[in-house]
Amino acid sequence: MNTVRTGIVIDAPPERVWTALVGFSDYVAWNPCLRRIDGEATADATLHITIRLAWLPPIRFTAKIDRFSRNEILGWRGVLFLGLLHGRHWFELQPLDAGKTLFIHAESFGGALSSPFLALFSGVIRTSYEAMNRALKTKVEQK
């Protein structure tokens, strides 16, 4: 598996970050990367996701939540291109001193297309994830 991992410190406790993170219906207003998620933020839920990675056209896919622990971790697994590319996407919220949170945003890719896909797009993926991290930080810290 090949992994893209990003992170940012948010000046808010994990509970506040979690609330914004699982508020899927609000993503269109603030999230430059994950443009839309239809579904519930619950264990084993099926999600219909639309992502936008920088200049690339929107990508739509279905995923299933496979990592869920309130205020700690949210993750899902999606499959693209007839199973030739699959991704395990997750967010971790790690409490820090002074009521802050280390927000980790990462994805591991596998399948026959994972190496060429990442060779072409890892920079775009990282840039898009970092943009989402900054947007989440702004949203949460404004409250």
Residue 22's domain comprises 2-141
d(CA 52, CA 133): 14
- Tens of pLDDT, residue by residue over 70-108, are 999 999 999 988 889 999 999 999 999 999 999 999 999
Structure tokens at 134: 């900054």
pLDDT of residue 143: 66
Provide the number of structural domains found in the chain: 1
pLDDT of residue 70: 97
- Residues of the chain short of pLDDT 50, as ranges, are none
d(CA 13, CA 127): 25
What is the domain-level CATH number for residue 57?
Answer: 3.30.530.20
Q: Give the predicted TM-score (pTM) of the model.
A: 0.94
Question: DSSP class of residue 77?
Answer: E
